[in-house]
Structure 1
Amino acid sequence: MTRHQPSDGSSPLKLSHQGIDRETAYRILSNRRRRFVIHYLMTTDEKISLRALSEQVAAWENGISRDKVTSTQRKRVYTALHQAHLPKLSTVGLVEYDTRQKVIGPTENIDTLQVYLDVVSEDDIPWSVFYTGTALVFATSVLLGWVGLVPFALLSGYAWAMLLSATFVGIGAVNLYQNRQNRLGANHLPPEVTLDADNVVTD
């Protein structure tokens, strides 16, 4: 494993042949602006200019379309990306940043970040709680049926098993779909923008 000393004085960033480690990934993803950059790069196969990237990130941050981004908003993002975020992403091997031409492109390591990010809306119930709650409901229902309480006792053990299986298959399918939708680079908009500002467009 190789260590890279960042220029901001923080602890060394670690790299391996399999990508970045968990600690480094969480540090990178802790900043929303960097998450927007990573999402944008995951949705394109071409290198992009710093100006275009800054304009798009500014649009997402302000909940507006790109053509409504002001020069002040764009320059604020431009400066932060150039001086801090892109050098950090380049140091850990997630992007290639040409500081002279001001162009950015993703590396093959960028896809390794997928396993570290699960965006959940503030209004959503965590899936672990949902699964546990569903299991408790079924367990209680089966117990009430076992003691002979109607209408729970009307279903046979086989019927309860089929109902339980069908329910969890359905929940699992919805869970899988939502997880895929909430991945960076999975949609036109970043997961956070999709969840918090559905009316935002990018062009």
Structure 2
Amino acid sequence: MTEETIDFNTVIDLCRDEHRRIVLSVLAAEQRSLTVNDLRTAILTCNHHTPVTDASGEVLTEIGALLSHTHLPKLESAGVIEYYSERRLIVPTEQFDQLQPHLSTIIGADPNLDEPIEL
């Protein structure tokens, strides 16, 4: 089965939201499957500058819901991840590799993502 090439406008659309840029950045840096909790931690650290232990339950729930119901389904519909909601697992696809050249440029231009995001 041949993978379709990802259109640059799709890449721009996927990177439009800061949380999705963080998700894509972490997936690019880690090069492995991650959990929703891993991504939530990265968003808390990068965007909220808060460790999970200091975050309120409300913030944790909000970020988890946004990931599960908005951002991850959008990335999955673009074909760059597979999202297994029952296991809360995110797996980068071969299509994700096609994002890498564009992604590194876009993420590199984001002043909030200057440092590699570590889990």
User: TM-score band (shorter)?
Assistant: 0.7 to 0.9
Q: Is the 8 A contact 2:34 2:91 kept in 1?
A: yes
Aligned length: 117
Cα displacement (A) at 1:17: 3.3
CA displacement, residues 135-183 of structure 1 (integer Å, 9 cap, x when unaligned): xxxxxxxxxxxxxxxxxxxxxxxxxxxxxxxxxxxxxxxxxxxxxxx28
Which of 69, 87, 104 lines up with 1:83 in the alignment?
A: 69
Q: Which amino acid aligns with 1:31?
A: D
Q: Is the 8 A contact 2:33 2:89 kept in 1?
A: yes
- Secondary structure in structure 2 of the residue aligned to 1:20: coil
Distance (whole Å) between structure 2 residues aligned to residue 109 and residue 192 of structure 1:
26
Cα displacement (A) at 1:41: 1.0
Q: Is the 8 A contact 1:55 1:69 kept in 2?
A: no
Percent identity of the aligned residues?
22
What are the ranges of 5 or more consecutive residues in structure 2 without an aligned counterpart? none
Which of 98, 101, 106 lines up with 2:84 in the alignment?
A: 98
Q: Which residue of 2 aligns with 1:40?
A: 26
Cα displacement (A) at 1:119: 4.9
Per the normalisation by structure 1, the TM-score is: 0.49
- Secondary structure in structure 1 of the residue aligned to 2:30: coil
- Secondary structure in structure 1 of the residue aligned to 2:101: helix
What are the ranges of 5 or more consecutive residues in structure 1 without an aligned counterpart? 1-15, 121-181, 184-190
RMSD: 2.8
Q: Is the 8 A contact 2:72 2:83 kept in 1?
A: yes
More relative contact order, 1 or 2 (CA 8 Å, 6+ apart) = 2
Q: Which residue of 1 aligns with 2:47?
A: 61
Q: Is the 8 A contact 1:56 1:66 kept in 2?
A: no
Per the normalisation by structure 2, the TM-score is: 0.78
